[in-house]
A and B are shown apart, each in its own frame.
Chain A
Amino acid sequence: MKHLLTTRDLDREAAVRILDVAEEMAATADREVKKLPALRGKTVVNLFFEDSTRTRLSFESAAKRLSADVITFSAKGSSVSKGESLKDTAQTLVAMGADAIVVRHPASGAAHRLAHAGWIDASIVNAGDGTHEHPTQALLDAFTLRRRIHGADARGRALDGTRVVIVGDILHSRVARSNVWLLATLGAEVHLVAPRTLQPAGIDEWPVTVHALLDDALATEPHAVMMLRIQRERMVDAYFPSEREYGRMWGLTAERFAALPADTMVMHPGPMNRGLEIASVAADSTRSTVLEQVTNGVSIRMAVLYLLVAGVEEERA
């Protein structure tokens, strides 16, 4: 594996392998010395054209736990605002010795372009490109699900038969897209819920069941409900009448939360809009995995950086 751009091209074996490596990475958190020497002498660049404190900090701490040198590049106030192209920025970073570039960009396909345009030779990790994909988020969600379901016995397993309901702005959500491909590959049964206005074209061809109403999806007694953030910055058109209306129809309200099976997990990629897509009583309950997802994010990103950067590329059989 040279790049991680999408969860779509991960087969089941590769996906389980990443989750298994992440288990070992998670185990290092209990050690006296939490740092591993695996990426000593390697440089990881965080190239962020979009604000994202959480993802950036998660990648930063993952790279540092593996002993890599980390350079963080935020587009704001940089040469990008003077009009430098993606190509020139990337080539500059590689000239400074970057072995891997973690890229977050508002344009769908930016990571793919960096990886395959022939501009640079570094490994590329997609940390979110437009409304396209956010593969490490999906991996950490799958990891969180697997750990909650299988506990200490999780190694080597997938998510066969796990029912996951993903709710919210599917149209703009890269988290949803990455999760759909990955969870389906791992054998989970995925249900999507969104107002018709927030369902993308072509959703019928996805390996999922689509519902317009949240209560229909919750009636399947899912193992997990994943609430997506309503991205106010993308709500420029009238996708739904009002926030109150959305919360009532598609939010995980206290009443809906109380009606869920007692062991259904509540997931959210963060940051949460409390009272809009998720009620506080759900977000703060023991069934909420929100903070676990943050912790697991570091383990997953350690696993991905390790697998991409530590060794030489495997021979394709």
Chain B
Amino acid sequence: MSARPVLHSDDIARALRRIAHEILEARRGDGRLVFLGIPTRGTALAERLGRIVDEIEPGVAEIGSLDVTMHRDDLGRSATRAPAPTRIPAAGIDGSTVVLVDDVLYSGRTVRAALDALADHGRPRAVRLAVLVDRGHRELPIRADFVGKNLPSSTSERVFVRLSEVDGVDEVAISQ
């Protein structure tokens, strides 16, 4: 099994910078902007995006994480997973624009779980979705608002996102 790299470190940095600009462009009004990463790698991406947004418009971004384990629809069908920490900014999410951040958008089930998990914390004014890679094959009516790279793939292929915070290296690869 050989993994073919499709995004390198500077590609990922460029994609995130573009997404950050798009998020600011799409932002209407002056409401709070809360980046919530879905663990594990979404959390790292949310932190990076938040930092870039903060460089462009200081003081705008708030950063946190949102664990979705308890809300997954396959919870009773797989081995029990330990939940990861959820960190919501102290001011909460009521009335803010929440940007959910994940590494790969595939079936859409994780995002559905995230929307459910989010409702336990309050009622944001709007929820957006930013992903590094959209590989297609949606099983639910869900789409991303901000995409780093569209990566047409077959269901037999696997997409690996590696980030320096978690894996020591920045890379997106695809394998048969």
Contacts and interface: CB of A to CB of B under 8 A. Distances in A.
Interface of A: 1, 17, 20-21, 23-24, 27-28, 31-33, 35-38, 41, 155, 306-307, 310-315
Name the residue in A23, A38, A313 with the highest tally of chain B Cβ atoms < 10 Å from its Cβ.
Answer: A38
B85 A310 contact: no
A27 B86 contact: yes
Contacts of B166: none
Nearest to A42: B76
B76 A21 contact: no
Given A24-B85, A31-B120, A32-B120, A38 B70 contact: yes
B67 A24 contact: yes
10 contacts: A20-B82, A27-B86, A33-B120, A36-B71, A306-B80, A310-B75, A311-B75, A311-B79, A311-B81, A312-B76
Given A24-B67, A27-B86, A36-B70, A314 B79 contact: yes
A306 B80 CA distance: 8
A307 B82 CA distance: 8
Contacts of B77: 311-312
Nearest to B122: A32
8 closest Cβ pairs, A-B complex: A311-B80, A33-B120, A314-B79, A38-B70, A24-B83, A36-B70, A311-B79, A310-B80
Interface of B: 67, 70-71, 75-86, 116, 119-122
Nearest to B81: A311
B166 to A, nearest CB: 15
B158 to A, nearest CB: 20
Name the residue in A31, A41, A155 with the highest tally of chain B Cβ atoms < 10 Å from its Cβ.
Answer: A31
Given A32-B120, A37-B70, A311 B83 contact: no
A304 to B, nearest CB: 11
Nearest to A17: B82
Contact of B121 (A17, A21, A32, A307): A32
Given A36-B70, A38-B70, A310 B76 contact: yes
Nearest to B123: A32
Contacts of B70: 36-38, 306
Contacts of B83: 21, 24
A36 B70 CA distance: 7
Contacts of A37: 70-71, 116
Nearest to A99: B76
Contacts of B82: 17, 20-21, 24, 307
Name the residue in A1, A20, A21, A24 with the highest tally of chain B Cβ atoms < 10 Å from its Cβ.
Answer: A24
Contact of B78 (A1, A21, A36, A312): A312
A33 B78 CA distance: 25
A315 B78 CA distance: 10
